[in-house]
Structure formats: C-alpha cells, structure tokens
Amino acid sequence: MSESLHLPILVIGSGPAGLTAAVYAARAGFVPVVIGGYEFGGQLMLTTTVENFTGFPEGVQGPDLMASMRKQAEKVGAKIVDRNVTKVDFSTKPFKVFVENAHYLADAVILATGASAKWLGLESENRFKGKGVSSCAVCDGYFFKGQEVVVVGGGDTAMEDALYLSKIASGVTVIHRRDRLRASDIMQRRALAEPKIRFVWDSAVEEVLGDRKVEGVRVKSLKTGEVSTLKCEGVFVSIGHQPNTELFRDFVDLDKTGYVIARDETRSSREGIFVAGDVTDKVYRQAITAAGSGCKAALDAVRYLESLKDRQ
C-alpha cells in the first residue's frame, strides 16, 4: 500500500543546491523533505580536496563538505530521504512525486537534481577519478600547477578547460577524435594561438596509466590504428555534461540540451516548480554557485507559498 504525505516544499536532489534550499526553507518555518537519492551528495562525492568553497581556508574533502551540509539541513528540521524519485506528476496541484512505495504531495517543488559529467567509459578512468582524473578544470586545475595535463574533447567546454589549465599547468595536450575542433570560432582561435596547448588529432584515449596516481594515457590513432603513450599527471575529460532532467521533460520547459529553462532566476515554466544548481546552469557549474541558487530557489518558493495564502 502506498504511503502519502502532503508537504509545503519538497526538494529533489541532495547536492549543494538541494541542501542549501532545504536549509533556507526550514529556517523560514517550513519543514521540507529532500529526496536525496541513493547516490547522495552529487558530483562533490567524487571530488577530493575542495579549495574554492568559501569558508575553508585549508580546503575540505568533497564528501566531508556534503556531510556537513546534510548535518546542517537536518539540524534545522529538513528530512532527507535516501531513495530515488521514480516518477513525478506536475500536471495538477498539489504536485505528485513518487518514491518507490511512497508518494508525496507538495505545494512547491525545487528541482536540484544537477547534471552528470559525460565520461569516456574506461575502467581505468573510473579508477582514477579524484586521483588525477577530473571533469572540472576550475575545481581541480590548481592541483596540477607546473605539471603536464591532458584535456579530452574538442568543443567549447574542452577549449575553455584547456585555456584555463594553460595558465596553471606546464603544458596542456588536447586529444580529440576528429581532425578539427567543434568549438566556436573564437574559442578555436584562442586555443590554437596559445603556445602551451598542443593538439593530438584523430585520436582517442584507450587507457589511463599509472599505479597510485595518473602517470600518462595510452592513445590510439583512429586513422592509422597506431598506439602511443603520452606522459601526464592529470586528465580532464571535457566532453560535456548531461542534466538529470528526464523525469521532468513532460512538465517543464527544457532547452535543446535538456537543461531546465529558468525565468526570473529560479522559476520554471510551471508555477510552483523552482530550479536550482546544475539542473539549469550550464555555464558556471560550481558548488558555490549551486548553493547560492539553492538559497534563491528556497526564498522564491517561500514567497510563492505566502502569495497563495494572500489569494485565499
């Protein structure tokens, strides 16, 4: 038998955006439920030292940061459910969110499901995540100061990462599957003009090499089949992100790449549904910007609920 619970605010997602939204909603006098999923904490759970989140001068481990956020959210009254949302129905109010054998009714919902980095799918890549393999140059580039790094990809994200890393690393090698870049003209010109950036064309990374840390990559030419080894200390996979929005496709407007379209900062196309973090942000994608948008979404949701009372 399905259980049901009617809530004023429900948050879907347990990364910095979702947990910050929960803190602000709880402090406003509402008791939010956060559907955090089995993989609690978002992308920061795959990150080692975080040195660009304000308030931690010595840095903080990604999982530790998320544990602290969770503890704070629970301390102020938020309830966190470590299960996955299986279905939603935002067609009528109250909104329905289905979580395995339970379903929730909510007057306002904050979507904070984030985005997932696209990976190459290599066993060695997965083994070295957080140990030399990263999907975020801004987050982790600092740790490779004066070292050789590889960027995989050929779009704007890859060129942005390569240019950013060229200011930190001793050298950047871009490995791309094609014989020309897919990035915009201006990004191509900037990257090609940077003397610290080298290019390996028509090639794919077959394996990340190393023992306890990254020591290089095995690269295969897609034209000749020749296999070579390239020494490096860091590998940045920059082939894009996929927003986790499939569940919401039929209920809120998405752009052509699947990100929720936000209006007035946090409002989706459906009244009462708010968005925060990487589910709508394809530009910054930082923990601190996600947390800030979670604050905004909660404040907007609270104002929305208060406006409903005024209408009655």
Instruction: List the catalytic residues.
Output: 136, 139-140
Instruction: Name the residue among 32, 37, 34, 26 with its Cα closest to residue 9.
Output: 32
The residues pairing with 175 across neighbouring beta strands, listed in sequence order, are: 152, 200
**151-171 b/e (C-beta count within 10 Å ≥ 16 → b):** bbbbbbbbbbbbbbbbebbeb
Q: Are 293 and 283 in contact (CB under 8 A)?
A: no
Query: How many CA atoms within 13 Å lie on the side-chain side of 39?
Result: 9
The residues pairing with 276 across neighbouring beta strands, listed in sequence order, are: none
Instruction: Report strand pairing: 79-81 vs 33-35.
Output: parallel
Residue type, 4: S
